[in-house]
Amino acid sequence: MSAVATGKDWRDLRKRILSAAVLLPAAIACIWLGAEPWTALMALCVSVLAWEWVHLCGLRTRVLPGAALPAVVLLAGALSVVGEARAALIVLGLGTVATWAIAGRLRGAEAPEKPPGWLAAGVLYIGLAGLALIELRHDNDAGLANVLFLFAVVWASDSGAYIAGRLIGGPKLAPAISPGKTWAGSVGGLVASMLAGLAVAAAMAPGPIGRVIAVAAILGVATQAGDLLESAIKRHFHVKDTSSLIPGHGGLLDRLDGVLAAAPVAALLALWVGYGVPLWK
């Protein structure tokens, strides 16, 4: 029986809409107001993401080794803000190794429930995305357009996949990782991401349609890959949600899974096209 017929798969839609009504205006306002408000929001988000990851590993952020994750990521972010992007990447790399080493040396009740590599992986998983989002918005000439483009693509991908997957259903995309995701949802999400990219590009800085579609598609694929990666992570940790912070969405890691994967890709594209140039130009 289809999702439309039963209606049961739409039961979380109201919570999703209410959560989006609160979160989206705040995010858009910070993006629009400039690099400083956006950086402050990123510091808050990174802190929450780190807290969720540390708790997934069975640790606390107030003491080592759990405290190492937010400390390293926030330090790298601070270096990025003052224009030391290379130093920030070095800090992330060294911090990953140090976190792994500290967690690996603990024994008994203080030892993490999961292998030390999982805690250390959080440094890169959260840190690289955080740095990418800071660097993207701090481009004063193209930062606003690029970050709005990125988030429009990610949000459209999530919404398009949700709607198409429930309306159409059909074969599963990756049943061993995420039984609820379908190929129809994946295609719907990709189409929605391209349409959203075209809309933002037309409003902010019109460019070649083919380039806009290509960049939106790349980020849309990265978004879906991030969604699948997050599903695999939760399956590994045997949890449904990373926390219960956001009604209808679980934790911030659940809500930003696509962003965490797409942001570094967008940052690489920005590096390729050059400073002050929209991603699709």
Where do the structural domains in the chain lie, given as residue ranges? 9-273
Query: Where on the phi/psi map is residue 49: left (φ > 0), alpha (ψ -120 to 50), or beta?
Result: alpha
pLDDT score at 4: 38
pLDDT score at 172: 92
Does position 99 have pLDDT exceeding 60, yes or no?
Answer: yes
Mean pLDDT for 64-72 is 94
Looking at mean pLDDT, say which of 8-17, 71-80, 102-111 comes out highest: 71-80
Mean pLDDT for 91-110 is 84
Residue 246's pLDDT band, with cuts at 50, 70 and 90, is confident
Mean pLDDT for 48-60 is 94
pLDDT score at 21: 75
CA 254, CA 49: separation in Å to the nearest integer?
A: 10
77 to 84, 114, 121: CA distances (angstroms): 9, 26, 17
Mean pLDDT for 9-18 is 68
How buried is residue 133: exposed, middle or buried, by Cβ count under 10 Å (0-12/13-18/19+)?
buried
Query: Mean pLDDT over all residues of the chain?
Result: 90
pLDDT score at 23: 81
pLDDT tens, residue by residue, 150-172: 999 999 999 999 999 989 988 99
SS3 69: helix
Comparing 73 with 281, which gets the higher pLDDT? 73
Residue 119's pLDDT band, with cuts at 50, 70 and 90, is very high
Closest CA to 13 of 155, 153, 158, 162: 162
Mean pLDDT for 176-181 is 88
Tokens 């930062």 locate to 143
